[in-house]
Structure 1
Amino acid sequence: MSEIFSKAWEYFKQHWIFLSVVSAIGVLVPALLTAVPIIKVWLQAKAGTIDYPDFQSFCTAILAQVGIFGCIGMIVLFLAIAGLIKASLKITEGGTPQVSDVFLDGGTYLKGFLALLVCTILYAIGMVLCVVPGLILMFFTVFVPFEVIGNPNAGVMDAIKNSFKLVKSDWKTTIVVFLVGYIITSVLGSTGIGLIPAYPFFYLALTVLYRQLKGQGMAAPQIDAPEPQQQY
């Protein structure tokens, strides 16, 4: 269990600059796209250029603009996470991620969007019926994006089925890695900027687990050797 996180940490240390830049785009751009319309409406109200008769109309104006920019922000986050997963898959193969590795081909983006749509519908149904089924579905579909990106021959439903099979093959390890990663992301995410290192580390840990469950070999991370002590 600890080996998964130690490998993820060593991989992260080797490529932290590249991964942090990709993660920062996914974290900061949506935040800015959300903050800009809020500040804009607030400045308009303060300057009196637009008169909001009551607090409700003021909030409605904010929500209307945040909704539009928020959708754009979610797309940016989706693209950044896809890039992190693709980079993580390459890193665990022993490669060095390049800028081109962050981007996917149009077919993979479409397949990823459709998979996200199907999973979201399943989550929504599970949450409406009862919260627990929705959480279970979220857990069992954790490897869907890895199948979409790492297994180009898999269709949308194949990716979902394969994710279920992988989780079922070792659900105890998967749930521990998922929960620990979620806790780390939540704790660091509470600081806002902490999400920048949290996202790549979390997805690296999931990538290591994903490859282990599929029986795929991984390149050994380069562990820094301790400096030799000088003898006097």
Structure 2
Amino acid sequence: MSQPPYPPVPPSDPQQPGGQPGQPPQYGQQPPPQYGQQPPQYGQQPEFGQPQYGQAPPPPPPGAYPGAPVPPGAPGTKVDVGEAFSWAFNKFKNNVGAMILPGLVVFLLGAALIAVGFSAVALFGTTERVDYGNGFYYEETTLGFGGSVLFGLVYLVFIVGLLYIQASIISGAVRVANGEPVTAKSFLTPIRFGPVVGTAILVGIITGIGYVLCIIPGIIAMFFLMFSVVATIDKSLSPINAMKNSFELTKSKVGDSIITLLVTYAINLVGVLVCYVGLIVAAPVAQLFLVHCWRRLNGAPIAPADPA
């Protein structure tokens, strides 16, 4: 005798309301359990993540299936060079007045340094003529003690000014990523200037030691510490913790971090090749690009892009 194609339907309990075959349960009563399922126990809560009776199931997480929309900055997203550069360039283009100010300040600092150098030579320099004979000679100029002290002090002020401007540009890029209004103050006022200087000094020392050790260790150090200053500003970390954070992020996102580093340096290189004047544009664009990639890799929110 052949088996039926479907399991037999169990008989209904005539003592229960709605127990007659073909009759639905009355209002306010739970439907009978399906064949092969256990009825819920009294007081038992539905499992976490399971929709309750009459509710729609929760939506899938971003990127759970091919073609699912992933919002900018969502965890697990990769760096999109085109998106990041377009975001950075359009932000700069629409706020060019405020964002070129740091570059102009650096240009003025450099001009002042050159002017002081010539002034020190004129005031304290001494020139000596060295004769090689047969009409060949050259003139050697020395600054002297007073000129060397003056030039050294001005150079120190120049280095501190560069650190201040660098911290201001990165702080401005972080403010842009936060969606804050862009003003002249945004790119001229650094966030946590003291810790930023400490981080920059430590990164410079470690990278410098690496370059002395056959260059390659310096490149490796520069790569793993590339987000240190940004982490100091954006996450309010101490210099040591910021470097640790940068190391862990680049170690876990090697490919995306390499792309970020190469494109950032390429943008700055273009500015250098245009007689250094191009850095007035390249420096803020590069830092905006870096901060966008930093937020992407951390899964942090990013302000919407400006229209092209």
Q: Distance in 1 between matches of 2:225 and 2:148?
A: 31
Tell me how far 1:67 sits from its aligned partner.
3.1
Moved more, 197-206 or 30-39: 30-39
Match of 1:103 among 181, 185, 189: 189
State how far apart, in whole Å, the 1-side matches of 2:268 and 2:143 are. 30
Residue matched to 1:127: 211
**Greater CA deviation, 51-60 or 120-129?**
51-60
SS of residue in 2 equivalent to 1:52: strand
Specify the alignment match of 1:20 in structure 2: 100
2:303 aligned partner:
219
Residue 76 (structure 1) aligns with: 161
Q: Which deviations, in whole Å up to 9, do the C-alpha atoms of 1:144-193 show, x marking residues without a partner?
A: 111111112x2221100001122223222222232222123123223121
Q: Over residues 91-149 of structure 1, what are the superposed CA-to-partner deviations in whole Å (9 max), with x where a residue is unaligned?
A: 122211334443246xx222112212221221122122220111111121111111111
- Among 190, 193, 205, the residue aligned to 2:277: 193
What is the distance in 1 between the residues matched to 2:283 and 2:178?
19
Give me the whole-angstrom Cα distance separating, in 2, the residues matched to 1:30 and 1:104: 17
2:174 equivalent in structure 1: 89
1:131 & 1:3 partners in 2: Cα distance? 33
Distance 1:189 1:65 in 2: 28
Q: Is the 1:10–1:223 Cα contact (8 Å) retained in structure 2?
A: yes
Q: Distance in 2 between matches of 1:143 and 1:192?
A: 24
- By relative contact order (CA 8 Å, sep 6+), the higher-ranking structure is 1
- Structure ranking higher in helix proportion: 1
| Structure 1 residues 158-169: aligned runs within 5 Å | 158-169=241-252
**Structure showing greater Rg:** 2
Judged with a 3 Å threshold, the aligned counterparts in structure 2 of structure 1 residues 60 and 169 are, in CA distance, closer, same or farther, namely: farther
Distance 2:114 2:239 in 1: 34
d(CA) in 1 for partners of 2:121, 2:209: 37
The whole-number CA distance in structure 2 between the counterparts of 1:63 and 1:188 is 31
Match in the other structure for 1:29:
108
For residue 178 of structure 1, the aligned residue among 261, 282, 295 is 261
Q: Counterpart of 2:189 in structure 1: which amino acid?
A: F
Point out where structure 1 has 5 or more consecutive residues left out of the alignment.
225-232
Deviations 1:17-71 (A, max 9, x none): 101012221x213312321123214545xxxx85322554436777654433222
TM-score by length of 1: 0.83
TM-score where L is the length of structure 2: 0.64
- The match for 1:228 is none
Instruction: Report the residue type matching 2:90 in the other structure.
Output: E
SS across alignment from 1:222: coil
Letter in 1 for 2:87: K
| Secondary structure of the structure 2 residue equivalent to 1:53 | strand
Residue type matched to 1:53 in 2?
E
Quote the residue 2:126 is aligned against.
Answer: 51
**Letter paired with 1:168:** K
* Partner Cα separation in structure 2 for residue 174 and residue 66 of structure 1: 39
Note the aligned Cα RMSD (angstroms).
2.3
One-letter amino acid matched to 1:9: F
Label 1:50 to 1:83 Cα distance change in 2 as closer, same or farther (>3 A). closer
In 2: Cα distance, 1:51 partner to 1:137 partner: 43
2:234 & 2:217 partners in 1: Cα distance?
27
Q: Indicate the residue corresponding to 1:227 in structure 2.
A: none
How many residues were matched structurally? Answer: 216
Q: Deviations over 1:189-221 (max 9, x none)?
A: 231211100100000000100100110111212
